[in-house]
Structure 1
Amino acid sequence: MPLLLDRFDRTIDYLRVSVTDRCNFRCVYCMPEEGFPCTPKEEHLSAEEFARIIGVAAGLGMSKVRFTGGEPLLRKDLPEIVRAARDAGVVDLSATTNGHRLPEMAEPLAAAGLSRVNISLDTLRPDRFTAIARRGSLEIVLEGIRAAVEAGLAPVKLNVVALRGINDDEAADFAAWTLREPVHVRFIEVMPMRWNLDEGPSMEAFSPHGGAGLLQIRQAPGGMLSDADMRRRFVPCEELMASIEAVHGKLEPADLRTNGPARTFRLAGAPGTVGFISQISNDLCSRCNRLRLTHDGFLRGCLMSDGELDLRNPIRSGATDEEIRALFEHVVAHKPERHYLAEGQRVTGRGMSQIGG
């Protein structure tokens, strides 16, 4: 099977597929209260178009596909897309979700061929959940996690975006969960990317650790943390690791299948693991093996680069699979070596919910 190699000798075998830019949450680091303008439905790729592109990717040796959004479980035809990817020969199929629709979707997705899920969950406290996500229910997400376990979508990983003064005091609480159950918590350093860099509540709009100021986020201008405030809210993973060890003792290195860029550890006797994705303090670009396909059919070589190539219009104009393969190869040939977030890089073309995180 062909292998995609970029200029830096990285094997590109992983495709992240955003199936929608719509989301049923409004997380303060991702979207404003009113949401972003959504792409018209006719500009979204159809299930058949996703299947065709994923089939071309599989033929190029891309053996891993992760479905993202927005919130991917909002697409009613997601099981159909998953099944098509499985039939194309993709051996590792996963999804990242906020978990709110997992209670009803876990079983159909598992039956379609999905292997596992990552669930975004930034807090274990109901009042903070309401303040951060501004939609949904913590109890329903916890029910979704249970449904994923029962459906065999394992290992179940929990993605926690760490934000100073908002949820960084919960690191030890999340780690304690891994002592009770086989859940795999991964703390993620916040990535400062948004459309409008000047709007959004100032840091002073928030009280440390979820006080009244955080709960007033709905009244803050724009309702979304600005790029500058996300940088101020940054918590290095080493600090989170130290706070966990201060409560629970030493974290020992561990292995977890498919844990990607996370550095993985385990507390003594724990059935679960604790991971750290430190893409800011210790960027992992030298091992990057992925491309990203947006919901509207653009292929990107890097989350933090504005460059992207249109696949939708060529497909709708009758492009052959060979021509689509050539577009994949072009994006790989121009994949950047690394991001420059630590140097102040900003992405201006799309927000996270338009790209798929």
Structure 2
Amino acid sequence: MTTTAPRPAAEAGGTPSRLVDRFGRPHRDLRISLTDRCSLRCTYCMPADGVPWLPRDELLSTDELVRVAAVGVSLGITEIRLTGGEPLLRPDVVDVVRRLAALEGPDGPPELSLTTNALRLPRLAGPLRDAGLQRVNVSLDTLDRERFVALTRRDRLDDTLAGLAAADAAGLWPVKVNAVAMRGVNDDEVVALTRFAVERGYQMRFIEQMPLDGGHTWDRTAMVSQAEILDRLSAAFTLTEVPGRGAAPAELWFVDGGPATVGVIASVTAPFCSACDRLRLTADGQLRACLFARTEVDTRVVLRADDGGPDATDALLAEAFVHCLAGKKAGHDIGEPAFVQPDRPMSAIGG
């Protein structure tokens, strides 16, 4: 069972967030999806074809998403992660980063990061860094070309590796590598992926597969757990737990004494809901309090209403943030009888 203990609203060393839920959790992290479209078709995320993309007129414009972000920052958001789909498919992604980097909150500008499949990073890593992006998370589930093609339904492994190198060269540090561990698919590569990352100065993160696939075929018995991942890693490396996790989703271990680390995001078997500080904005303007939320708060209708001018709009957007948090549950309830997988897949929510 997922439980949440109340936490103090104020955090040391920063301005207390005005975005505090009924369990006392301050929220400082906003994940913004720039698009639901993707250049890969990962088997655990979406079907090979027939994906119902969001209509373009329903997507937030850049002015709109920056406005929502600005209100969030004014309320205490200190970190913004750009996601998708594949966020680098958005034609004006560099301008989006530049405008978000210019926002100012009580604690200064937000920290900006981006999750990507890296295919467009060879061309965009430098411009994104110049615009104010600070770091990237790159999805890479296998180092084997045939497996990559089978998993993503695209022959783009070399492009992903080139994108990782481009991010490193551009100074988008730390470069984090995310892999979903899947039984009988890539679980035998846990050690190889970690060695690959450590040798290049990247930070490896393994993710327990979550019930967010487009086909709703997730099966917990087939999921590779954190315990299994750590067992495989411990057979090859000496792991020492890194203290001070805070609100980070990944639990970290030093590899062979450090400084390199490896992490596991164990959302299913070791949920971190009690420290969750994240809100999500979908590409079509829906605020979500949790990846597994069954309800959303519509900001697009506020943004496109001609109702009282800019100040009134910003006040209504602030109310939307507060209303979204008011409905946040103590935990995601995976494994509980009442759990129902959200209708939207991960690609339409934003990671």
Taking structure 1 as the reference length, what is the TM-score of the superposition?
0.87
Match for residue 122 of structure 1 among 122, 131, 141 = 141
Match for residue 53 of structure 2 among 13, 35, 38 = 38
In the TM superposition, what is the alpha-carbon distance from 1:42 to its structure 2 partner? 1.1
In the TM superposition, what is the alpha-carbon distance from 1:268 to its structure 2 partner? 1.8
CA contact (8 A) 2:28 2:79 kept: yes
In the TM superposition, what is the alpha-carbon distance from 1:135 to its structure 2 partner? 1.7
Provide the alpha-carbon RMSD of the alignment: 1.8
Moved over 4 A (4+): 255-259
CA contact (8 A) 1:182 1:271 kept: no
For 1:227, what is the secondary structure of its paired residue?
coil
2:107 matches 1:88: no
Out of 333-342 and 114-123, give the one that drifted further. 333-342
CA contact (8 A) 2:21 2:326 kept: yes
2:164 matches 1:170: no
Q: What per-residue deviation string (whole Å, max 9, x for no partner) do you get for residues 42-81 of structure 1?
A: 1110111111111000000101100000000000111111
Structure 1: unaligned runs, 5 residues or longer = 198-225
CA contact (8 A) 1:162 1:190 kept: yes
Which position in structure 2 is the counterpart of 1:23? 38
Distance 1:103 1:233 in 2: 35
Match for residue 65 of structure 2 among 47, 50, 75 = 50
For 1:118, what is the secondary structure of its paired residue?
strand
Aligned length: 326
Match for residue 240 of structure 1 among 229, 233, 236 = 229
**Structure 1 counterpart of 2:286, which letter?**
F
Structure 2: unaligned runs, 5 residues or longer = 1-14, 308-312
Q: Percent of pairs identical after alignment?
A: 43
Q: What per-residue deviation string (whole Å, max 9, x for no partner) do you get for residues 8-57 of structure 1?
A: 00001110000100001000000000051101111110111111111000
Per the alignment, do residues 136 and 311 of structure 1 end up closer, same or farther by CA in structure 2, a change over 3 Å counting? Answer: farther
In the TM superposition, what is the alpha-carbon distance from 1:272 to its structure 2 partner? 2.6
**Structure 2 counterpart of 1:39, which letter?**
L
For 2:77, what is the secondary structure of its paired residue?
coil
2:337 matches 1:336: no
Per the alignment, do residues 167 and 307 of structure 1 end up closer, same or farther by CA in structure 2, a change over 3 Å counting? Answer: same
Which position in structure 2 is the counterpart of 1:12? 27
Match for residue 314 of structure 1 among 259, 284, 302 = 302
CA contact (8 A) 2:95 2:131 kept: yes
Match for residue 350 of structure 1 among 314, 325, 344 = 344
In the TM superposition, what is the alpha-carbon distance from 1:258 to its structure 2 partner? 9.4
Per the alignment, do residues 194 and 80 of structure 1 end up closer, same or farther by CA in structure 2, a change over 3 Å counting? Answer: same
Q: What per-residue deviation string (whole Å, max 9, x for no partner) do you get for residues 201-223 of structure 1?
A: xxxxxxxxxxxxxxxxxxxxxxx
Distance 2:126 2:93 in 1: 12
For 2:329, what is the secondary structure of its paired residue?
coil
Distance 1:189 1:273 in 2: 18
For 1:104, what is the secondary structure of its paired residue?
helix
In the TM superposition, what is the alpha-carbon distance from 1:186 to its structure 2 partner? 0.5
Distance 2:279 2:136 in 1: 19
**Structure 2 counterpart of 1:340, which letter?**
D
**Structure 2 counterpart of 1:275, which letter?**
G
In the TM superposition, what is the alpha-carbon distance from 1:288 to its structure 2 partner? 0.5
Match for residue 98 of structure 1 among 105, 111, 117 = 117
Which position in structure 1 is the counterpart of 2:175? 156
Which position in structure 2 is the counterpart of 1:210? none
**Structure 1 counterpart of 2:89, which letter?**
L
CA contact (8 A) 1:179 1:269 kept: no
CA contact (8 A) 1:180 1:271 kept: no
Match for residue 78 of structure 1 among 93, 106, 113 = 93
Which position in structure 2 is the counterpart of 1:214? none
CA contact (8 A) 1:179 1:270 kept: no
Taking structure 2 as the reference length, what is the TM-score of the superposition?
0.89
Which position in structure 1 is the counterpart of 2:318? 325
2:130 matches 1:142: no
Which position in structure 2 is the counterpart of 1:215? none
Which position in structure 2 is the counterpart of 1:290? 278
In the TM superposition, what is the alpha-carbon distance from 1:341 to its structure 2 partner? 1.2
Per the alignment, do residues 255 and 133 of structure 1 end up closer, same or farther by CA in structure 2, a change over 3 Å counting? Answer: farther
CA contact (8 A) 2:103 2:110 kept: no
Where is the helix percentage greater, Structure 1 or Structure 2? 1
CA contact (8 A) 2:136 2:173 kept: yes
**Structure 1 counterpart of 2:28, which letter?**
D
Q: What per-residue deviation string (whole Å, max 9, x for no partner) do you get for residues 218-277 of structure 1?
A: xxxxxxxx233xx232011111111111123x2112369999211111222555310011
Q: How does 1:208-227 map to 2 (within 5 A)?
A: 226-227=217-218
CA contact (8 A) 2:122 2:163 kept: yes
